Amino acid sequence: MKLDGYDIHPLTAQRWDDFEAVLGKSGLGGCWCMYWLVSRSADWGEGQKGGSQAVNKERFRTIAARHPPPGLIAYDAETPVAWARVMARARHPGLANSRWFKTDLDTEGVWSLSCFVVKKQWRRRGLTALLTRAAADFARDHGAIALEVYPTETDEDKHPATVFTGIASTFRGLGFETVQAKAPHKPMMRLLL
């Protein structure tokens, strides 16, 4: 898929090196996009901030080899520049245990767009919004009826590591609506597909 001059491709085993190029050799402190994919933070981090690099990397590499793919990579020409994880909410057991995002709302057919990484030199170019639009199409094509996000509500300029789930105003601009807010700075938002 091509959007606004960027090529967007699902992460498959064949694109693992491109995914690694976006996240870096350490997988953003060892997370490797596994945080919401385990049921307890102890399983993710083995008691360590940032997770267990080797375990998380291999777990996510296994997930990347499955169908449907676990997310999308954006390319500027041939260069991988951004990543977004988009999967069925049911595949995110960590959300069910989250103090902010566990819910009594119906989650059948809901997909989660739960992580963004944009390489430094491509930030502030609208890639979060672009990947969100692509993720909505991707989720819809795989049977989703709604796309859910977990952004930070802020007007302040934040370090990217603290807003890896996006900024709420970006999603409001794309038509997402808050469906739950257990804390003012942590809304849960949905877009009907």
Structure-model confidence comparison of residues 59 and 47, the more confident one: 59
Is pLDDT above 80 for 138? yes
Inter-helix orientation angle 16-23/53-64, to 10°: 140
Element housing 146 (H / E): strand 146-149
Q: Which domains can be identified in the chain, with CATH numbers? A: 2-192 (3.40.630.30)
pLDDT at 12: 95
Structure-model confidence comparison of residues 53 and 2, the more confident one: 2
Question: Which string of DSSP letters, residue by residue, matches 84-120?
Answer: EEEEEGGG-HHHHT-TTT--SS--TTEEEEEEEEE-G
Is pLDDT above 60 for 42? no
Cβ burial of 82 (10 Å; 0-12, 13-18, 19+) is: buried
Provide the whole-model pTM: 0.90
pLDDT at 43: 58
Count the residues in the chain. Answer: 193
Is pLDDT above 70 for 111? yes
Confidence category of residue 56, pLDDT binned at 50, 70, 90: confident
Structure-model confidence comparison of residues 42 and 54, the more confident one: 54
Inter-residue contact 68 to 59 (CB < 8 Å): no
Lowest mean pLDDT among 40-44, 81-85, 130-134: 40-44
pLDDT at 32: 85
pLDDT at 47: 44
Which tokens sit at 40? 């307890």
Cis bond before residue 160 (omega within 30° of 0): no
The mean pLDDT of 94-114, rounded to a whole number, is 93
Which tokens sit at 182? 């257990």
Is pLDDT above 60 for 44? no
Q: Is 29 helix (H, G, I), strand (E, B) or coil?
A: helix
Q: Express as a percent the part of the chain with pLDDT over 70.
A: 89
CA distances 4 to 93, 166, 169, 186, Å, are 33, 19, 20, 29
pLDDT at 1: 86
Q: Is 143 helix (H, G, I), strand (E, B) or coil?
A: coil
What CA–CA distance (Å, rounded) separates 4 from 144?
Answer: 24
pLDDT at 101: 94
The mean pLDDT of 66-86, rounded to a whole number, is 95
Residue with tokens 């930070």: 152
